[in-house]
């Protein structure tokens, strides 16, 4: 079988659903998987490495990336700009790596418009009640903050339903099962007719 090009994998889902845990387990299962590295206008923090944690760019350079359509998505957050460099993602995919993007529904919408063959996954907790338990269990957030997060989660559910581009839902009851399902999705997507149809023309 010929070496396949990697795919872009977009994962969204409410904060507290356990995305990072599931992704960490998935990365233990597969070598051909990496995170995207974002471009940002914020200053590097001590210990952060350019090209590994972020690509640190000036506001001018960032604006130029936006203008030249060099970003798959971008957003501003507390005065700093963040974006996903298209070239970086495409290069890793060419190397056969699946590139993971952990972003909110609005960012996912931008990415999907530019990369319609991305694998679009929405990851949720087993229930909102369970999400509330998890957020309370952390013991780090005030009651008001937790209420805010739950409202945000509900809004994201509604956005995800209306978005129409999510292909898969992962229910994170057990992170190991969730990682196994994500692994299966990546394997299944490599078996797509569109990915392999050339074999039907090779005689």
Enumerate binding residues for its own copies (CB under 8 A): 1, 122, 124, 126-128, 154, 157-158, 160-161, 166-171, 173, 180-181, 183-185, 187-193, 195-197, 199-203
Place of tokens 């559910």: 157
Contact (Cβ atoms closer than 8 angstroms) between residue 10 and residue 68: no
The token pair at 56 is 């640190």
CA 49 to chain centre: 21
**Residue closer to its own copies, measured from CB, 30 or 42:** 30
Read off φ and ψ for residue 109, nearest 5 degrees: -60, -45
DSSP letter (8 states) at residue 43 = P
Least distance between its own copies and beta carbon 200 (Å): 4
Q: How many residues does the chain have?
A: 203
Residue 123 and residue 17 in contact, taking contact as beta carbons nearer than 8 Å: yes
- If the CB atoms of residues 71 and 124 are measured against its own copies, the closer one turns out to be 124
Check if the beta carbon of residue 103 is closer than 8 Å to that of residue 73.
yes
DSSP class of 52: T
Residue 85 contacts residue 55 (beta carbons within 8 Å)? yes
**CB–CB of 162/155 below 8 Å?**
no
DSSP 8-state class, residue 38: E
């Amino acid at each position: 079988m010929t070496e396949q090009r990697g795919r872009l994998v977009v994962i969204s889902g409410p904060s507290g659903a356990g995305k990072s845990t599931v992704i960490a387990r998935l990365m233990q299962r597969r070598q051909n998987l990496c995170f995207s590295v974002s471009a940002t206008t914020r200053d590097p923090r001590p210990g952060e490495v350019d090209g590994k944690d972020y690509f640190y760019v000036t506001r001018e350079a960032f604006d130029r990336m936006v203008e030249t359509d060099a970003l798959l998505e971008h957003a501003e957050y507390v005065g700093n700009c963040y974006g996903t460099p298209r070239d970086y993602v495409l290069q890793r995919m060419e190397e056969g790596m699946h590139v993971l993007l952990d972003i909110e529904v609005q960012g996912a919408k931008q990415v999907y418009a530019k990369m319609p063959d991305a694998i679009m996954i929405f990851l949720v907790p087993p229930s909102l009640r369970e999400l509330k338990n998890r957020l309370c269990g952390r013991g780090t957030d005030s009651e008001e903050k937790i209420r805010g997060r739950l409202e945000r989660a509900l809004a994201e559910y509604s956005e995800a339903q209306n978005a129409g581009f999510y292909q898969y839902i992962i229910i994170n009851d057990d992170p190991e099962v969730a990682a196994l399902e994500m692994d299966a999705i990546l394997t299944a997507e490599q078996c797509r007719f569109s990915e392999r149809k050339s074999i039907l023309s090779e005689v």
